[in-house]
Chain A
Amino acid sequence: MGFTTLSSALYFYQNLEDFTTRFYEKFAANENYSALRELFLDLARDNIKQKNTVLRTYQEAITDILEVGSSLDGMREEDYLIPEMPVEDSDMKEVLNYAITLEDCGLRFCLDISKKIRTLLTDISRPFESAGKKKGDRKNRLEAALRSLG
């Protein structure tokens, strides 16, 4: 289903960030993944920060004169669907690969929406762009961690 309003896109983003935070916190708390603990806790903290920045900017820049979602034409929820969270006894590589998929999904969503609303809502576009770039950095950190496992 397509995003028909900015509100629906924001709601999706908020859920995505909340889900990602829950994932990192859950696996950071599990002794089996203690090697990833610091990295995952850091990413979870950063998630909350990014979400708050985007939502605060949205609240400060929202206008009652939105162009009825037309700027989001072509963006569909199903293009950013995330697979089910791995079970807790998954191996570390599987968990890291899942984290990379999550970050990639968030990255694509943030950069896509940023591009779509750039003309109409520049103030809200900017934090999305920044969140997208940060997700790229986070993905690199996760890929480096994966490589280090050999």
Chain B
Amino acid sequence: MVLLEEPIKSSVTLRNYVNGEWVEAETNVWRQIVNPATQKVIGRVPISGSGDLEKAVEAAAEAYPEWRRTPPLTRARHLYRLKNLMEEHFEELSRVCVMEHGKVIDEARGETRRAIENIEVACGIPSLMMGYNLEDIAKDIDEYVIRQPLGVFACIAPFNFPLMVPLWFMPYAVATGNTYIIKPSPWTPLSQTKIMELIDEAGFPPGVVNMIHGDAEVVDVILKHSQIKGVSFVGSTPIGRDVIYKQAAAHGKRVQAQCGAKNFIVVMPDTVIDQTVSSIITSFFGSTGQRCLSGANLVVVGKDDSYHQRILEKIVDSARRIRIGYGLDEATQMGPMQSEDRKKRVVGYIEKGIEEGARIVEDGRDFSVMGEYPDNCFIGATIFDEVTPDMTIAREEIFGPVMCVIRTQDLDEAIEMINKSNYGNAATIFTSNGRIARKFQYEVECGNIGINIGIAAPMAFFPFSGMKDSFFGDLHGQGLEAIRFFTESKVVIQRWF
């Protein structure tokens, strides 16, 4: 057992980052940041008020005209510097992420990598932001499209990918000439604070990127502020749909709200079992199930009882062998839930599943942790068999390491079940048959499709898609869709006499 050194030695007090300076929040409300594995307090975060956000908006709005006029290649150079600094601090960033979130070190390093990839893609802004043109749309008249930034944008970030998610948006926003405000999750604000230290070191002009710690009050001002042109949000469906999307749209803003999920993983009888099981285990139990692309419902297709039994036994056997512990212990395969409340919520769903008649074949409430850590946030992998689509555990997002196994007679029944779900974030099929895979890809109403891929996570140069109750807005984060989200198309028709 090798325990990596913790980068945070004693509790830190966070400040906001406004106009290129670290400033105290004008508030008396603070929240403790607790390492979910050790239960040690590692920091305290201010719950800023509307006045703090006003200052950030003012700084961002003031920085905008000059930043917009900065050539795209120069803007990209700031991002190159940030990328290099993130490479330099790669390990520190990843370990901070483990300490505040609980995920295991390899997952955190993967998160840091994906964050950097978004910066790398945004560095291509001189090409990505180009418009297009056509000569002679009429006699001696040419027409062209140019892409222009809009002003100040903001991001409301979730707790589960504290380092990566704001970087699905921010690099594209500033590369296109906008200025930006990030509001990290108050549960996991340390990773973004570290990023902001690097932004400061990279020499971005004051006001181009700002960070305000806070909660509902800050969100409310972001959604209503006349100078904020658009909002990117990642979080739960009720908040995304009923608060973010409605309020932002009502106040004339662009909005992209990437929300909850209930992802189906379909296993066909012709799949390669060993590789499939390994991928399934990661999909359902990786990041302790706290990601919007995690598997939730495992649909085993076919009439063969012995096949169903065989695959279930293999999954249960693998799940039982998962080593639970502190994410900075390199032998750990699954970390804790991010907070006690999140664990309680998962336990509540397990109880609900039993009450509604699902058969529990692996009970995550009974678990052992490697090392001497309080078990407040830890939980094991749970597997329910004989789940029916109408059960609560099959319909609602649990956001924890719980697998619901559902049987269907054929693929059509499985696709119908997926399409009936309110959510449309991701779905995966495991099969060796190309025709079946194509049918799945064609008919399933989900934004991200995996074919023999347990977690269908789009790379930075593709949009992070989503449909139905999993996404509200038109343009998704990452890649070209992000470029379109952060720019306005202006059409010019010209003639010279």
Contact = CB atoms under 8 A, between A and B. Distances in A.
B109 interface: yes
B226 interface: no
Given A11-B2, A62-B109, A70-B281, A5 B455 contact: no
B260 interface: no
Contacts of A11: 2, 330
A65 B87 contact: no
Contacts of B279: 67
B330 A7 contact: yes
B281 A68 contact: yes
Given A4-B333, A11-B330, A64 B114 contact: yes
A66 B107 contact: yes
B281 A7 contact: no
B71 interface: no
A67 B110 contact: no
Nearest to A69: B333
Interface stretch (B55-63, B195-203, B282-290): B282-290
A61 B109 CA distance: 10
A62 B110 contact: yes
B333 A68 contact: yes
A1 B329 CA distance: 14
Assign chain B's interface to a size class: 20 to 34
Contacts of A63: 110, 113-114
A60 B113 CA distance: 7
Interface in B68-111: 87, 90, 104-111
A65 B323 contact: no
A61 B114 CA distance: 10
A6 interface: yes
Contact of A59 (B2, B107, B113): B113
B391 interface: no
Interface in A4-41: 4-8, 11
B191 to A, nearest CB: 13
**Interface secondary structure of A, over-half rule:** loop
Interface residues of A, number: 21
A5 B109 contact: no
Interface in B297-342: 318, 322-323, 330-334
A71 interface: yes
**Interface secondary structure of B, over-half rule:** helix
A64 B330 contact: no
Interface in B321-379: 322-323, 330-334
A67 B278 contact: yes
Interface in A44-82: 59-71
Contacts of B323: 4
Contacts of A62: 106, 109-110, 113
A67 B318 CA distance: 11
B457 A5 contact: no
Contact of A65 (B105, B275, B282, B332): B282
A64 B292 CA distance: 13
A71 B287 contact: no
A67 B330 contact: no
B113 A65 contact: no
Nearest to A9: B330
A74 B455 CA distance: 25
Nearest to B370: A4
A71 B286 CA distance: 15
Contacts of B104: 5, 7
A5 B334 CA distance: 10
**Which of A59, A64, A66 has the most CB atoms of chain B within a 10 A radius of its CB?**
A64
Contacts of A68: 278, 281-282, 285-286, 318, 322, 333-334
B87 A59 contact: yes
Contact of B106 (A1, A66, A70): A66
B57 to A, nearest CB: 33
B110 A66 contact: yes
**Which of A7, A60, A119 has the most CB atoms of chain B within a 10 A radius of its CB?**
A7
Interface in B259-303: 275, 278-279, 281-282, 285-287
A39 to B, nearest CB: 32
Nearest to B110: A64
A71 to B, nearest CB: 7
**Which of A59, A60, A61 has the most CB atoms of chain B within a 10 A radius of its CB?**
A59
A11 to B, nearest CB: 5
Contacts of B162: none
Contacts of B109: 7, 59, 62, 64
Nearest to A65: B455
B171 interface: no
B110 A70 contact: no
A47 to B, nearest CB: 21
A69 B318 CA distance: 11
B457 A4 contact: no
Contacts of A71: 278
B149 interface: no
A5 B332 contact: yes
B278 A4 contact: no
Contacts of B333: 4-5, 68-69
B214 to A, nearest CB: 27
Interface of B: 2, 87, 90, 104-111, 113-114, 275, 278-279, 281-282, 285-287, 318, 322-323, 330-334, 454-455, 457
28 contacts: A1-B331, A4-B332, A4-B333, A5-B330, A5-B331, A6-B106, A7-B104, A7-B330, A8-B2, A11-B330, A59-B87, A59-B113, A60-B113, A62-B110, A64-B107, A64-B109, A64-B111, A64-B114, A65-B286, A66-B106, A66-B282, A67-B278, A67-B281, A67-B454, A68-B281, A68-B286, A68-B333, A70-B281
Interface of A: 1, 4-8, 11, 59-71, 119
